[in-house]
């Protein structure tokens, strides 16, 4: 989907529908014997992971554990950041061994956040399999990384930003395309 600047391709009601579709798609991708856990990449990936887990529980009847992953110290641009980085806790209250870990994030753009998340994840254990679910996958990849599931996929020109808002952090849900 190509999206013009300043547009709002997803409103709050559509976002809930996308999360439900993503939960259904995820259940179709995993085998019944797989032990599924979700890890939200801080910061907007965490509330998305929690909401996705609710949808998965409603569909499957099984509770899905959710944890959070902070990638700040794993970023390859850490030395380029101005000021001190804000490090938030990584909370993984379950073992990753032999589990299917689903990394959840808001936007997949260059692939660098996901690469950092993989480094952070592997410091906490060796899962059976790792999958990636994002609310928005946009054009402009720098690394060969792609989502297993995306709420929307958008083509935007350079100099534009795809922003995902979540009510838990931003007060409202939505996806917009903005000029940088």
Q: Which of 61, 2, 6, 1 is nearest to 174 (CA)?
A: 6
CATH topology of domain 12-78+86-179: Rossmann fold (3.40.50)
How high is the pLDDT of residue 80?
Answer: 57
Find where tokens 């179709």 sit: 28
How high is the pLDDT of residue 78?
Answer: 56
36-41: strand order across its sheet: 66-69, 36-41, 100-108, 129-138, 149-154
Please list the ranges in the chain whose pLDDT falls under 70. Answer: 1-8, 76-86
CA distance 69 to 115: 13
Q: Which of 156, 157, 138, 167 is nearest to 50 (CA)?
A: 167
How high is the pLDDT of residue 159?
Answer: 86
Handedness of CA 51, 10, 113, 150 (dihedral sign): positive
How high is the pLDDT of residue 156?
Answer: 86
Longest dimension (CA), the chain: 46
How high is the pLDDT of residue 11?
Answer: 87
How high is the pLDDT of residue 179?
Answer: 80
């Amino acid at each position: 989907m190509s999206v013009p600047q300043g547009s709002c391709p997803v409103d709050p009601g559509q976002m809930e529908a996308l999360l439900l579709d993503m939960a259904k798609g995820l259940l179709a991708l995993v085998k019944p014997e797989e032990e599924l856990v979700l890890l939200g990449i801080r910061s907007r990936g965490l509330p998305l992971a929690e909401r996705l887990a609710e949808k998965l529980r409603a569909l499957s009847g099984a509770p899905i554990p959710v944890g959070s992953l902070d990638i700040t110290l794993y970023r390859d641009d850490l030395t380029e950041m101005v000021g001190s980085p804000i490090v938030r806790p990584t909370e993984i209250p379950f073992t990753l061994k032999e589990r299917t870990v689903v990394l959840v994030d808001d936007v997949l753009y260059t692939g660098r956040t996901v690469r950092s998340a993989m480094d952070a994840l592997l410091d906490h254990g060796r899962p059976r399999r790792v999958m990636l679910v994002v609310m928005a996958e946009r054009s402009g990849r720098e690394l060969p990384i792609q989502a297993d599931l995306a709420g929307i996929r958008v083509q935007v020109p350079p100099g534009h930003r795809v922003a995902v808002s979540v009510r838990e952090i931003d007060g409202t849900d939505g996806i917009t395309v903005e000029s940088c």
